[in-house]
Amino acid sequence: MLRLNYKCCFFFILFLFITPTPIEAQNEWQFENNKHYRTLPLAEGVASLNDKIEVIEVFAYSCNHCFNFETNIELFEKTKAQYIDFKRMPAVFNEAYKMHARMFYTAESLGILDVMHIKIFKAFHLDRKQMMTESEIFELFSEQGISKDQFENRFRSFTVESKVNRAERLTRKYKIRSTPTIVVNGKYTSNGPSTRTFEDIIAVTRELALKEYSSK
C-alpha cells in the first residue's frame, strides 16, 4: 500500500512538470518566422508609454494597396487589444515620398488628420491627383478651412521636417521595401511569403503583438 502511494506521488509530480500552464498553452504560436513574418536584422524593443506594444502601419498615399487596406486597418484600430499602441507612419523612399509625408504630418500638426487621412487617399486614387506641388496640396487643406498662412507655417516647419526625417530613417532601419508593411514593436514585420491577404496581415500582427506582450 505504501509503495502504491509513492507511485501516485511520482506520477502526480511528473504530471505537474509535463502539463503546460495556461500561459504556455496559450503561447503555442500559429505563425512562423520567415514564413508568415520576418524578424528585423537589427531587432530591438520599443519603449512605448505604459509598457504597451507598438504597432506601426507603414504606408504610402500613392500606394493603391494601402488605400484598399484602410478598411482592414481601421477595423484593427477599433478592435485592437488594450496593450497595443497603434501608429501610422508614411514611408519615405525618395523626395516624392517626402512631399507626401509632409501632408500627413502637417495634417497631424493642424489637428485634422482624422479627416484628412482618407481625403488624401481619395485625392490620389479616386480623383487621380499627383499631389506633388504645395499649391495642389494646399487646395485640399483649404477645403477644411485651413488658411494659407496656417498651411505654410506648418508644412515646412521644424516639427514637421523632424518627423519626416525620422520617418525616412525608420523606413531604412526597418528595411521597408513595399507598402503596406506593419512593424511590431521594432522587431518584426508581419508580411512573409505565406502572408497573402490583408486578413492574414492583421492576424499575424495580432499574434506578434500578443507574443511580445506575453514575454514582458
Query: How far apart (Å, rounded) are the C-alpha atoms in residues 204 and 191?
Result: 8
Which range among 4-13, 98-107, 190-199, 206-215 shows the weakest confidence by mean pLDDT? 4-13
Dihedral Cα 84, 88, 94, 95, nearest 10 deg: -150
pLDDT digit string, tens, across residues 35-46: 999 999 876 667
C-alpha cell recorded at residue 144: 477644411
Q: Cell 531604412 sits at which residue?
A: 172
What is the structure's pLDDT at 80? 97
Higher pLDDT, 14 or 172: 172
What is the structure's pLDDT at 148? 97
pLDDT digit string, tens, across residues 117-136: 999 999 999 999 999 999 99
pLDDT at 1 over 60: no
Average pLDDT over residues 11-19: 39
Angle at 117 between CA 64 and CA 154, to 5 degrees: 125
Query: 71 with 201: CB under 8 angstroms?
Result: no
Task: Compute CA distances 209 → 33, 34, 55, 59, 138, whole Å.
Answer: 14, 17, 8, 19, 38
Average pLDDT over residues 199-208: 97
Query: How far apart (Å, rounded) are the C-alpha atoms in residues 84 and 46?
Result: 12
What structural domains does the chain harbor?
Answer: 32-214 (3.40.30.10)
pLDDT digit string, tens, across residues 163-180: 999 999 999 999 999 999
Query: Residue length, the chain?
Result: 216
